[in-house]
Chains A and B, each alone.
Chain A
Amino acid sequence: MIPLPTQFYIKICAALLALLALTWGLAYIDLGSWNLGIAMGVSIVKAVLIMLFFMHVRYSSRLIQLVACAGFFWLLILLSLAMSDYRSRGWIPTRRPDLTQSDR
């Protein structure tokens, strides 16, 4: 692996700090439900920058790249399938005799 120029590392770090300022600032602006999405989006960009350049995933073998994604992918499985349960809990409202009768 060719060592990257020091300048480059500093630029990445500056970008990370700028993104930090962005998250921080945006948190004080009310964007409704977008706040969480944007904060997570910025965090993901930061994480990807760190992984690609500080952790040299960009310059690593395909295997390393795969492993680097695997943990996050599996975390996504956990979150999405478990939340699919919680989010769909109320979809079948307990059908009430009085409610359904009035429907008829």
Chain B
Amino acid sequence: MNAIELEPSPALQEEEPGNYLSESHTVASWLLTTDHKRIGILYLYSILFFFIIASFAAATMRLELLNPQGSLVLSETYNKLFTIHGVLMVWFFLIPSIPAVLGNFTIPMMIGARDVAFPRLNLLSWYIFIGGGLFALYSIVSGGVDTGWTFYTPFSSTYSNTHVIAMAAGVFVAGFSTIITGLNFMVTIHKMRAPGLTWFRLPLFIWSLYSTSLIMVLATPVLAITLALLSLERFWGIGIFDPKLGGDPVLFQHLFWFYSHPAVYIMILPGMGVISEIIPCFARKRIFGYYFVAFSSVAIAVLGFLVWGHHMFVSSQSVYAGLIFSLLSFIVSVPSAIKVFNWTATLYKGSISFETPMLYAFGFIGLFTIGGLTGLFLASLGADVHLHDTYFVIAHFHYIMVGGMVMAFMGGLHYWWPKITGRMYPEFMGKIAALVTFIGFNLTFFPQFLLGYLGMPRRYHTYPPEFQIFHILSTAGASILGVGYLLPLIYFIYSLRYGKKAGPNPWRATGLEWQTSSPPPKDNFLRTPVVKRAPYDYSPFEEEHPQNV
């Protein structure tokens, strides 16, 4: 237990009069807040908004793909739909999802601080995010963009007739929000830890968010300048990506993937962190191999910068560069494997219960394992030539990003929901939703592996009829998945009013964030905690000896 010196005072169990939510109810108190908890909630609403738009785009695409002739929407529309889906999901949902919502909310509490290091910058980062979002929305409303989220040149710079610059500007601006968030987290984790909270007493969620921040800070600026160059190229024709003017379109891919491959790890590392919190708590076991799980996060963050060329095996990149990138890609799979093995080993001789967060954690391990293993197919040069840019790739990264990150986000949201709102969500409905999500997800994306191996290229609006059966399965799965996401939305809102009071620590978890009331007071702790022990000090025997708590 991150044992703190003061025993949880009995007063905490009672109705807390002052918490960060009840402190003030005016709109200005939200829009001008510098409280990391409120900013986390602002982010939650914002990304939910973008998630809904992007999901509608996905739903329309899935419906459209029900028949091979593509009769529901025009091909222009279809191309815009997958671009909207990709851009919004990647930059306006996944990247801020766990870091900016759950990270913002929990990091200061988990390290025993009153707030992040730069609260005003934190608020600024949300406003910048909204600014970027407005650019993106403007681009969508004024006609959309049809380049795909990858913005490949020379299509995006010269040939597309859509609002590429507005969308690029949106991503550019949102990028700075990511950079500021990452910077803030890094400084906070370095400088704001409570007395006694050494690096190896930090929860693994903090380790994973630290690694994520490292990527945010070092990769995002390259995306920003690349998109700036793309916009200049489109506006003025500077020619750096244009073969006709002496440039090279593949240079864009290098710059883009230098950011976007590490960004894939922005979209999974925080999820791994959440799982590392949930599993010990619901298995009542100290995490197995703490150092390995912690350092594997850092290893993934650093090695993740060295593998971007595996997106370019058939791009006319040199075969020798392909060799290097393939080798490094295989190496980066090892730290992920280490994490999965350690989570499994943590369950050994635990006392496992299956509340909703734990169900999502199990779902995460299953789906992430499949996503990770199929990544090996794509890292393998000979197999990637066939699989590249097919539905196999789509299925693979959805297993990581939706099966991994979104499952973890849902798990984390359920896990910290009592802390955020002070209320419990309805447990039974939670379990149903987790199950429905898992089934729907697999039905949606597993057929896409088969489609991909058969040769169905991605971003196809129409397709040869022999692929139809898999598309029908996939669309059926997507409708189930949709229900799986809709349910929590309903019961979370329901729980705000009717959920039962959570108390400070409904999961009997050991993290510092559970040592304060729910919802926490504005400054998180009434007195700065002092940490004396390693994290995850759980015992499977608590059931029999409750006095040990």
Contacts and interface: CB of A to CB of B under 8 A. Distances in A.
B51 interface: no
Contact of A78 (B222, B318, B320, B324): B222
B472 interface: no
B304 to A, nearest CB: 11
A42 B318 CA distance: 32
Interface residues of A, number: 16
A53 to B, nearest CB: 24
Given A81-B309, A81-B324, A82-B258, A74 B190 contact: no
B218 A81 contact: no
A87 B317 CA distance: 10
Given A74-B218, A82-B258, A88 B305 contact: no
Given A74-B305, A81-B309, A85-B254, A91 B318 contact: yes
Interface in A40-91: 63, 70-71, 74, 77-78, 81-82, 84-89, 91
B227 to A, nearest CB: 16
B321 A85 contact: yes
Interface size range of chain B in the complex = 20 to 34
Contacts of A92: 318-319
Nearest to B325: A81
A86 B222 CA distance: 19
Given A71-B218, A77-B306, A78-B222, A88 B320 contact: yes
Given A63-B190, A74-B218, A78-B222, A88 B321 contact: yes
Given A77-B306, A78-B222, A85-B309, A91 B320 contact: yes
B318 A88 contact: yes
B254 A82 contact: yes
A82 B315 CA distance: 13
A86 B258 contact: no
A50 B219 CA distance: 25
A9 to B, nearest CB: 28
Given A74-B218, A77-B305, A85 B258 contact: no
Interface string B171-203: 000000000000000000010000000000000
A71 B190 CA distance: 18
Nearest to A70: B218
Nearest to A73: B218
Contacts of B258: 78, 82
Nearest to B258: A78
B324 A84 contact: yes
A85 B257 CA distance: 14
A82 B319 CA distance: 13
B314 to A, nearest CB: 13
Nearest to B221: A71
A89 B317 CA distance: 7
Contacts of A74: 218, 305
A85 to B, nearest CB: 4
A77 B11 CA distance: 54
A84 B320 contact: yes
Contacts of A81: 306, 308-309, 321, 324-325
Interface string B225-255: 0000000000000000000000000110011
Contacts of A77: 305-306
A74 B259 CA distance: 11
Contacts of A85: 250, 254, 309, 312, 317-318, 321
Contacts of B250: 85
A89 B324 CA distance: 13
B225 to A, nearest CB: 11
B189 to A, nearest CB: 12
Contacts of B317: 85
Contacts of A89: 318
A86 B306 contact: no
Contacts of B312: 85
A44 to B, nearest CB: 20
Contacts of B190: 63
A81 B251 CA distance: 12
Contacts of A91: 318-320
A87 to B, nearest CB: 8
Contacts of B321: 81, 84-85, 88
Nearest to B316: A89
Given A84-B320, A85-B254, 14 more contacts: A70-B218, A74-B218, A78-B255, A78-B258, A81-B309, A81-B321, A82-B255, A84-B324, A85-B312, A85-B317, A85-B321, A86-B318, A91-B320, A92-B318
28 contacts: A63-B190, A70-B218, A78-B255, A78-B258, A81-B309, A81-B321, A81-B324, A81-B325, A82-B251, A82-B254, A84-B320, A84-B321, A84-B324, A85-B250, A85-B254, A85-B309, A85-B312, A85-B317, A85-B318, A85-B321, A87-B318, A88-B320, A88-B321, A89-B318, A91-B318, A91-B319, A92-B318, A92-B319
Interface of B: 190, 218, 222, 250-251, 254-255, 258, 305-306, 308-309, 312, 317-321, 324-325
Q: Which 6 A-B pairs have the closest CB atoms?
A: A85-B321, A88-B320, A88-B318, A82-B254, A89-B318, A74-B218
